[in-house]
Structure 1
Amino acid sequence: MPPTILLADIGGTTTRIARAGLDGAAFDVRVEPNDGYGSLEEMFGAYLGSLSGERPRAGVLAIAGPVDGDDVRMTNRAWSFRRPALASALGLDALAVLNDFAALAHGVRSLGRSDLIQVGVGHAKEGAPILVCGPGTGLGTATLIPHPEKKSYEVLPGEGGHVRLGAVTADEARIVAHLVRELGPVSVEHVLSGPGLVRLHRILSGETATSHAIIQSALGGHARELESCHVFLRLLGRITGDYCLLVRALGGVFIAGGVGAAMAPLFAASPFRKAFEEHPPYHEHLASITVQVVVHPTPGLVGAAAVGRRLLAAL
């Protein structure tokens, strides 16, 4: 059997694991609930122990948290590890670890039409920065920076979910004030995430439900849940517009993350696009930018595989 690489997209709630060869096509894909394991070593050990044939020689892990060296700690889960020790424990000759949205950014340009849903009008300017952001257990961000002379892009990871959340309308001010009393300083992902949607819906309706239940009820046309999702998407649109202005993302915007994908059918009729564009005096600038929601089931693995092909070829 040709050499393979271990791929994983490790979120705060679930982990997607797979193998791939030099062609980058993922196989043996599994989705594991993180609560079922005490550590990453335990999770990967169970996965590798169930495989037949030669074990992977290298690995690429996309993880929900900052990656600044060999000591890695997740943001929304109490898991940490040292990269060399984990590579040794899994029997890997090489192991690359990168932020989950950095991995997404490596893969978005290879996604097909069926993997994306466009929101509003706009176009992508070739050779311009591309923004990748979106809500899941937290809110992730990354930017693709073009290198025209190399005809390639460099991925710049970000931590945009942890910038402070402000308000521009009376109802947003009420939401932020409520959250300040509850949490203290309020960051963007305190609202724009799965747990954030739960908080937002509780503030707006007085009801408590899971993010999945809220989205499913909104998709079914239930008024209170639909209102909560529309407020969520309005805030997401405004914040995404803010991020676009910071990097002049004329190459387009990809909204990723599990919550973003689940809400994909709600974007068109929501205030998202209006809030995205409503940044005077740059309305026309933002109106020209294409925004697409990623609905591919494992986009993080696509990006991890792109990195993995180069890693495997170098062994």
Structure 2
Amino acid sequence: MAPTVLLADIGGTTTRVARAGADGTPFDTRLEANDSYGSLEELLRTYLASLSGEAPCCAALAVAGPIDGDVVRLTNRDWRFSVQQLAGDLGLRRLEVLNDFAAFAHGLPLLTRDDLMEVGTGRAVAGAPMLLCGPGTGLGTALILPRDGGCEVIASEAGHMRLGAVTTDEARIVAHLVRDLGPVCVEHVLSGPGLVRLHRILSGEQLSSHAIIKAALNGQMQEKESCLVFLRILGRVLGDLALAFDAKGGVYVGGGIGRAMAHLFADSPFRAAFEEHPPYHDRLSLVPIHVVTHATPGLVGIGEIGRRLLREV
């Protein structure tokens, strides 16, 4: 049997786990709730025990947190592990670990037109930097720098930048969050938990992010208003980042919350807020923006890393 690689896209709330062969295409894919496991090792052991045939010889993991050395900690979950020890415990010859949005970025070139939804218009500048950003359990970000024959991916923790206010309603939101949380960062609003906080401040209701988005898509006005404010803030923050990195190659919005809200973008203030950065409105109006609608783009990206890994072992 041909060797396989274990793949996992490990978020704060859920983990998508699969394996792949020499082409890097995920199969035997499962979606696991992290709350069902005490550790990442337990989750991966349970998955491996369910497989038939020869166990994967190596693994590639995408982790929602910074990768600074052998010990990896998730940002929005109390999980940590040693890369070297995990490889030994699982009997792997090689184990590669990437930030989740860095892994996602490696998969962008593999997505098709059907996996993307354009927001507004624009024209990418060939060879220019591209920005990937997406709200999920937190706010993931990565920068893609095209290079001859490929690209360089730079992971980022831009979701932890401080959040400021531009309008009076945003000032009210930030004031509430400062009272509740102390110093406010971007992902305190631009994430699934952030949408819950935002809706509670605006409406007084406590609903899950899924319920808020579902109601907004069904035309419920209060929930829709919360989503529109969310998208306005997201547009402004992405405009900030696009200017910071001169992302004339395009901006891509990923993450589970971004994908769930895909059909709200067109009639929202998102694009206007993205462009409203005087004196650079015209500059930003030329930047193309796409929402990534593929269900498992993180696995596509980490599958590409796994494909390369299999060639080396």
Common fold: TM-score over 0.5: yes
Which residue among 163, 166, 172 is the counterpart of 1:165? 163
Write out per-residue CA displacement over residues 158-190 of structure 1, whole angstroms, 9 at most, x where no aligned residue.
001000000111111111011111111000000
Q: Does 1:292 align with 2:290?
A: yes
The residue aligned with 2:128 is: 128
Shift of 1:152: 2.1
Q: Does 1:314 align with 2:294?
A: no
The one-letter code matched in structure 1 to 2:23 is D
Q: Secondary structure at the match of 2:305?
A: helix
The residue aligned with 1:21 is: 21
The residue aligned with 1:45 is: 45
Shift of 1:146: 2.3
Distance (whole Å) between structure 2 residues aligned to residue 218 and residue 194 of structure 1:
14
Shift of 1:114: 1.2
Structure 1: 5+ residue stretches without partners? none
Shift of 1:266: 0.4
The residue aligned with 1:262 is: 260
The one-letter code matched in structure 1 to 2:98 is L
The residue aligned with 1:119 is: 119
The residue aligned with 1:183 is: 181
Distance (whole Å) between structure 1 residues aligned to residue 252 and residue 12 of structure 2:
20
Equivalent residue runs for 1:188-199 within 5 Å: 188-199=186-197
The one-letter code matched in structure 1 to 2:206 is T
Compute the TM-score of the two structures, normalised by the length of structure 1: 0.98
Aligned residues, how many? 313
The one-letter code matched in structure 2 to 1:181 is R
The residue aligned with 2:55 is: 55
Distance (whole Å) between structure 2 residues aligned to residue 125 and residue 34 of structure 1:
40
Distance (whole Å) between structure 2 residues aligned to residue 146 and residue 259 of structure 1:
27
Distance (whole Å) between structure 2 residues aligned to residue 184 and residue 46 of structure 1:
39
Distance (whole Å) between structure 2 residues aligned to residue 135 and residue 174 of structure 1:
22
Write out per-residue CA displacement over residues 64-109 of structure 1, whole angstroms, 9 at most, x where no aligned residue.
0000111100000000000010011111100000100001111112
Q: Secondary structure at the match of 1:296?
A: coil
Structure 2: 5+ residue stretches without partners? none
Distance (whole Å) between structure 1 residues aligned to residue 149 and residue 275 of structure 2:
29
Write out per-residue CA displacement over residues 255-299 of structure 1, whole angstroms, 9 at most, x where no aligned residue.
000000000010000000000011111111111011111111110
Write out per-residue CA displacement over residues 121-168 of structure 1, whole angstroms, 9 at most, x where no aligned residue.
012211110100010000010000122xx3321000000100000011
Q: Secondary structure at the match of 2:86?
A: helix
Write out per-residue CA displacement over residues 22-69 of structure 1, whole angstroms, 9 at most, x where no aligned residue.
111110000000001011111001100000111111101000000011
Equivalent residue runs for 1:89-104 within 5 Å: 89-104=89-104
Q: Secondary structure at the match of 1:156?
A: strand
Equivalent residue runs for 1:199-218 within 5 Å: 199-218=197-216
Distance (whole Å) between structure 1 residues aligned to residue 199 and residue 130 of structure 2:
31
Following TM superposition, the consecutive aligned residue runs of length 4 or more in structure 1 with deviations greater than 2 angstroms are none
The residue aligned with 1:277 is: 275
Distance (whole Å) between structure 1 residues aligned to residue 25 and residue 178 of structure 2:
45
The residue aligned with 1:224 is: 222
Distance (whole Å) between structure 1 residues aligned to residue 11 and residue 239 of structure 2:
25
Distance (whole Å) between structure 2 residues aligned to residue 98 and residue 265 of structure 1:
30
Q: Does 1:75 align with 2:75?
A: yes
The residue aligned with 2:236 is: 238
